[in-house]
Structures are given as structure tokens and as C-alpha cells.
Amino acid sequence: MMWYWGGGVHWWGWLVGGLGMLAFWALVLWAVWYLVASPGRRPPERASKGDDPQRILGERLARGEIDADEYRHLRDVLCEGEPATRS
């Protein structure tokens, strides 16, 4: 035969084949682990994409843009759902 080597595969052929097989299965196991485990490690997304009005109101108070009286008034308006009319 044209490709017959006479003694079968040499020791280095077995070594390369075995290492290749180990690398292949390691890659398959890593891909499965990555697809299964990685979504659990991602930070949870917020329920709503819009800004939370009470959070914004609290930030405005903390920055000093509004005083405590205006904060309480606007918070009450947000909680009650009334239109924001201030006298």
C-alpha cells in the first residue's frame, strides 16, 4: 500500500491524538458550562427601563435642588397620583 507505515501509529501520533481529544472535550464542557452558568452571574436587569420618579425626587433633594417642604409635597403628589398643583 502507498500509505502503509508498517508499524502503525508511532508514539507521538498517539500523544497528539490523545491531547487533541482532551482539548476537544475540554472545549465542549467549557462551552456547556459557559452557556448554563454565565446567565446566573449577570447582574439582574431593572424591572422598568424608565426612571423611577421617587428615586429622582430623592436625588434632587440630596443635590439641594429642592427643599424638604417641596420634596414632601411632590412625594405626596406622586403617591396619591394627583396632578402637581402647588399654591
**What ranges do the domains of the chain cover?**
7-41, 51-87
pLDDT tens-digit map of 65-85: 999 999 999 989 888 875 555
CA–CA gap between residue 86 and residue 77 (Å, rounded): 10
Q: Is the pTM of this model over 0.85?
A: no
**Residue 41's Cα: distance from chain center in Å?**
6
pLDDT tens-digit map of 46-62: 555 557 888 889 899 99
Tell me the pLDDT band of 11, cut-offs 50, 70 and 90.
confident
CA–CA gap between residue 25 and residue 19 (Å, rounded): 10
**Contacts of residue 60, Cβ cutoff 8 Å, sequence gap at least 6:** 66, 71
Residue 22 predicted with pLDDT over 60: yes
Q: Are residues 78 and 57 in contact, defined by beta-carbon separation less than 8 angstroms?
A: yes
pLDDT computed for residue 25 by the predictor: 97
